A and B are shown apart, each in its own frame.
Chain A
């Protein structure tokens, strides 16, 4: 089953220079919890605090950084249930329904992904959290009604076991180089 598909290039991809990439290397594992985190990052990169801040501001404005802040761990905070809920949506409605689903506070991811026929007919993926299974199912019903998905085929994949969960490391080799 060779089912690879190259992802299309993002036309709006922001241009990142080497300093941006080095800064990303450092902050992907988190800001240092010190009084002056931006100055401390700047020392490692040989740039001053103001430049660190202005680069982070620009990366946020360009949406390379979706958000900057506290990243919580749902499970540890009592949100024990999560279901990857997948939908088989006609291609011409994906964007409209995707934006409708993506607006709910209990939806933490809403991505279009390719179908893999015949094994996998679903093209929209939402991650839905709740304190328990019942509240996750109730949240799914809310979405179905609000976005008018009654006739859309879906499947609910509850997680039964977490083998690993941590932040992504995008540029491992460079990160190691920069820090050392």
Chain B
């Protein structure tokens, strides 16, 4: 249905879906993966590198529990429509911002800030408020109810 999916081979689909958690903690992890598909380590490494270049995977790595290291928060602002682009660009300029979305709501700009500690976080939030002249609603995580096993991709 989507053109992006038609170009993905079967092996690529397995790499995308089957190793979102429990990645092998062994000396040659890509060799172990290769063995499952009767191919070579080089093929697997090349394929993952390409999948990353094509933007289908952001990384092969760890997802950390929020606030187990450093500090992070969700934040929201109600930005006048004609200033959205300007304010979003200003927010994106902080390397501590890793997500920034426009959403359909009175609070129309939602971003996630992650920093080494809470002081740095608060300083950036204050900075964003001052530079934009718009209040920032600060919504840190209190409890996590999600057991993250990755995302089951359904191929059509």
Which A positions have Cβ atoms within 8 angstroms of B?
1, 3-8, 10, 13-14, 16, 21, 24, 27-31, 33-39, 49, 53, 56-57, 59-60, 63-74, 76-80, 84, 94-95, 98-99, 101-103, 105, 107-114, 116, 119-120, 125, 129, 131, 155, 157-174
A39 contact set on B, CB distance < 8 A: 27
The count of chain B contact residues (Cβ–Cβ below 8 Å) is 88
Inter-chain contact A78/B70, CB cutoff 8 Å: no
- Is B132 on the interface with A (CB-CB < 8 A)? no
Main secondary structure of the interface of A (DSSP, over half): mixed
10 additional A-B residue pairs with CB within 8 Å, beyond A77-B4, A172-B95: A1-B137, A37-B29, A53-B25, A53-B27, A68-B21, A70-B19, A111-B146, A119-B107, A155-B105, A163-B100
Contact A73 to B101, CB < 8 A, known contacts A10-B67, A16-B69, A67-B20? no
Main secondary structure of the interface of B (DSSP, over half): mixed
How far is B53's CA from A38's CA once the two chains are assembled, in angstroms?
22
B89 contact set on A, CB distance < 8 A: 163
Kindly count the residue-residue contacts between A and B in the assembled complex, taking CB atoms under 8 Å apart: 283
A65 contact set on B, CB distance < 8 A: 62-65
Inter-chain contact B142/A70, CB cutoff 8 Å: no
Inter-chain contact A172/B96, CB cutoff 8 Å: yes
**Which of A3, A69, A162 is close to B20, meaning CB atoms less than 8 Å apart?**
A69
How far is B149's CA from A70's CA once the two chains are assembled, in angstroms?
11
Inter-chain contact B65/A66, CB cutoff 8 Å: yes
Inter-chain contact A66/B64, CB cutoff 8 Å: yes
